[in-house]
Structure 1
Amino acid sequence: MSSSVRHVTIDCREPYTLALFWAEALGGKLGEGDEPGDDEVLVENPVVGLLFERVPEPKEIKNRVHLDLQPRDRSRDAEVERLTALGATVVDDRRTPDGRGWAVMADPEGNEFCVERSAAELAATEGSTESAT
């Protein structure tokens, strides 16, 4: 027998606030009964749940694990704009003039994640291999 991933847990200062950001970013929903002030707040997502857990210390160094997002119904650049409007920031722009690459972003508490090209964008440059790190 093997294990499966139940949640990806993200330490943060304000679980409810950060979970709201990620629920909107991923089109997920908050766990039933999750409320402001809770020490743990779940974002339910069709792929894997994200659990935001309160910790007393602020984020100080680069993440050892991060999420790579691939937009489903918009371009990478449009998704970067949408996430910026939700409160994320671009911390390292690795997009290239030929349309390849990705954007390294940070959520409102500074946790890094990457936004890659959509499947349609990748298909338009078939044979392309790239990955965010």
Structure 2
Amino acid sequence: MRIRHIAAAGAAAAALTLGAALPAFAGDTQPSAGRSHTVAAHDASDLGALAAKRKVKVYQDAKYKNRNTTFTENMWNLKHDGWNDTISSAKNLGKCTVTFYQHSKFHGAKFSLAKGESEPHFGDHPGMSDATSSVKFRC
């Protein structure tokens, strides 16, 4: 039973890191005898699948050049990550729509990229030239 609690705690930590909902069993104090260890491992891998759905690669300069990083979760304030007002191009590599906002907490001017879309120059969107302060996924 202790292994089930450790697996549930690991899944809960992964869910918090990814910003995902916790699996129903994570809060169970007495898991049913019918549950196996593979259920916990399967649910944890589902969290990885969610991260794969949410994936956008952003670049400091237009045309996908220079410094870059990949986001897999909503970013409500890019000041904390060193990317505030510096994103100039992006590629949506996930399956969700990603929206870039001019201000933190998903406010101000915005534009979105559907799955597979890319934007070589954010300056082509009013108010978005080197102005992105938050990023949000919608699946």
More helix per residue: 2
TM over 0.5: no
Q: Is the radius of gyration larger for structure 1 or structure 2? A: 2
TM-score when normalising by structure 1: 0.27
TM-score when normalising by structure 2: 0.27
